[in-house]
Amino acid sequence: MKKIRFVRLAALCLCAALPLAGCGGEEASSASSVPAPPASSSVAAADPVLPDQTEGEAPFDEDGENGLLGPLSSPEQALSSCLNWGPGTAGSSLKSVQAAVALLNWAEENSLSRRDDLSVTQGFTGWYEGLEADEQENFSAVWPIIQAQADALISGEGEMEPLLEDAGIDPASLPDYTAADWEVLRDIITARVPLGGEA
């Protein structure tokens, strides 16, 4: 009798153990077939180490470096100060200083060294090619004088203050010019304008 009870009890235990063994086997099988996520996955989800698409070099913007400079203003007013007078005429030295300051101011206000040279070239060329032949000749004749005055203002060489004051310009009102801005404009004009007054 005890033996029968023992057999029944053993059978019941075996029946109860079989489903548990089956579940454990499935869990072990499924656990082995699916790779465990990396230990740092929760950290990566919260703080992913991915390149920021907003960082890096932005494409060039024609209206200024990343749109911060704004559009290039017209050089017409500054360049027009170079016309209607010539070397050796009355007041030419004062007019050359006024023209130099006008060009330096335009170059500085537009931050030319931070722009694409093509936009500056197009701005000057559009103005220059719109001149009459005698105006182009006039500009070519005065350009070396204006360039020399602007170079002197940039370098600080020579006694420019008395000349500025005689030209009606307060030296204290002038900004600290950026040489690179002026050099961009100077080089573009020099490359385009023939010397000797022949357009």
Nearest by Cα to 185 from 141, 125, 139: 125
pLDDT score, position 27:
46
Altogether, the residues listed in the chain come to a count of 199
Q: DSSP assignment, residue 196?
A: T
Per-residue model confidence (pLDDT) at position 90: 87
Per-residue pLDDT of the chain (199 residues; tens, 9 = 90+): 444 444 454 555 454 554 544 444 444 444 445 555 555 444 444 444 444 444 444 344 444 444 578 999 999 999 999 999 999 888 999 999 999 999 999 999 999 999 999 999 999 999 999 999 999 999 999 999 999 999 999 998 878 999 999 999 999 999 999 999 999 999 999 999 986 444 3
CA gap 136, 146 in Å, rounded: 15
DSSP labels for 87-101?
Answer: TTSTTHHHHHHHHHH
What pLDDT is recorded for position 67? 55
Q: What is the pLDDT of residue 158?
A: 76
Angstrom distances, CA of residue 20 to CA of 29, 33, 51, 112 = 14, 20, 48, 80
Q: How many CB atoms lie within 10 A of CB 166?
A: 12
Q: Cα(7)–Cα(66) distance, rounded to whole angstroms?
A: 87
Phi-psi region of 178 (alpha: psi -120 to 50; beta: other; left: phi over 0): beta
Look at residue 25 in the predicted model and tell me its pLDDT: 46
Q: 198: helix, coil or strand?
A: coil
**Whole-number pLDDT of residue 69:** 84
Q: 103 Cβ partners below 8 Å, 6+ apart?
A: 78, 79, 81, 82, 146, 150, 182, 185
Helices 133-155 & 92-109 angle (0-180, nearest 10): 80
